[in-house]
Amino acid sequence: MSEGPKMPYARAVNLANRFMALIDPHVLKQEVAGSIRRGCREVGDIEIVCVENPLHPLGSLFHKDYPGLVLSGPRLKRFKYPASGVQIELYVTTTWDYGRILAIRTGSAWYSHCQLATNWNRLGWCGTEDGLRRKKECVKKGNVWKILPEYAENPTKPPVFNTEADFYGFLGIPWVAPGQRNWSDPTPDGRYNYSK
């Protein structure tokens, strides 16, 4: 979530569409996430979830000196343009985890924590850098779950999440339209604020 300046929804959509057109030859699928997908009036960061095209990898487009590129990890590429106040975050995932990452990155942060992560924890799973894994096969170091060495070669894996609907079905909760996921910090009585 961006703490910087916000932009009107229409401008954010325009910038997101331009960025998606740029990366289109380098991805198998992509979708806008974050506050744009939730339909918020004002947008901080532009978030996009994609699956990389192995025949035309993103690295061939985003070389180390690419304008605005400040982070170029295998799962997250971040672009910052201070003059315009625009930040773009590109989340790179796999086809089998696409629905989960799209749901998480659509947010809001409170919604993802309280509805998604809480439910996969309840079912005995934890989030690792390789996707969901059984908690009993992992160890938590700080805030990060790691697979135990004895399970590294053959961990228990969840089903394939091609879509958000697949992921919600796995969690056993009804799919919620992105515009209904605008939860913010809880009030003192424990209720979650909902905003547009």
Q: What is the pLDDT of residues 43-93, one digit of tens each?
A: 999 999 999 999 999 999 999 999 999 999 999 999 999 888 899 999 999
Rounded distance between C-alpha atoms, residue 74 and residue 69, angstroms: 13
Domain contains 182: no
Do 140 and 114 contact (CB within 8 A), yes or no?
no
Query: Which CATH number is 37's domain given?
Result: 3.30.460.10
The per-residue pLDDT for range 22-37, each reduced to its tens digit, is 999 999 999 999 999 9
Domain contains 192: no
Q: What is the band of 5 on the pLDDT scale with cuts at 50, 70, 90?
A: confident
Q: Say yes or no: 72 and 116 in one domain.
A: no
Q: Say yes or no: 73 and 16 in one domain.
A: yes
Number of domains in the chain: 2
Q: Say yes or no: 143 and 89 in one domain.
A: no
Domain contains 185: no
User: Does residue 12 surpass a pLDDT of 70?
Assistant: yes
| pTM attached to this predicted model | 0.91
Q: Say yes or no: 34 and 76 in one domain.
A: yes
Give every CB contact of residue 17 below 8 A, 6+ residues apart in sequence. Answer: none
C-alpha distances out from residue 118 to 25, 113, 115, 172, 183, Å: 36, 6, 6, 12, 15
Cα-flanking dihedrals φ and ψ of residue 84, to 5°?
-100, -10
Name which of 5-9, 37-41, 49-53, 93-97 the model is least confident about. 5-9
Q: What is the pLDDT of residue 140?
A: 95
Q: Say yes or no: 87 and 113 in one domain.
A: no
Q: What is the pLDDT of residue 196?
A: 46
Domain contains 49: yes
Q: Say yes or no: 106 and 65 in one domain.
A: no
Question: What is the total residue count of the chain?
Answer: 196
Domain contains 186: no
Q: Say yes or no: 120 and 57 in one domain.
A: no
Do 83 and 65 contact (CB within 8 A), yes or no?
no
Rounded distance between C-alpha atoms, residue 191 and residue 63, angstroms: 45
Domain contains 193: no
Q: Say yes or no: 58 and 104 in one domain.
A: no
Domain residues for the domain of 114 are 97-174
User: Does residue 4 surpass a pLDDT of 90?
Assistant: no
The per-residue pLDDT for range 119-152, each reduced to its tens digit, is 999 999 999 999 999 999 999 999 999 999 999 9
Cα dihedral across residues 12, 18, 22, 25: positive or negative: positive
Domain contains 1: no
CA 115 to chain centre: 15
The last residue of one of the domains, among 93, 126, 158, is 93
Domain contains 2: no
Chain-wide mean pLDDT for the chain? 92
Q: Say yes or no: 139 and 168 in one domain.
A: yes
Q: Say yes or no: 69 and 13 in one domain.
A: yes
Rounded distance between C-alpha atoms, residue 2 and residue 195, angstroms: 17
User: Does residue 194 surpass a pLDDT of 60?
Assistant: no
User: Does residue 2 surpass a pLDDT of 60?
Assistant: no
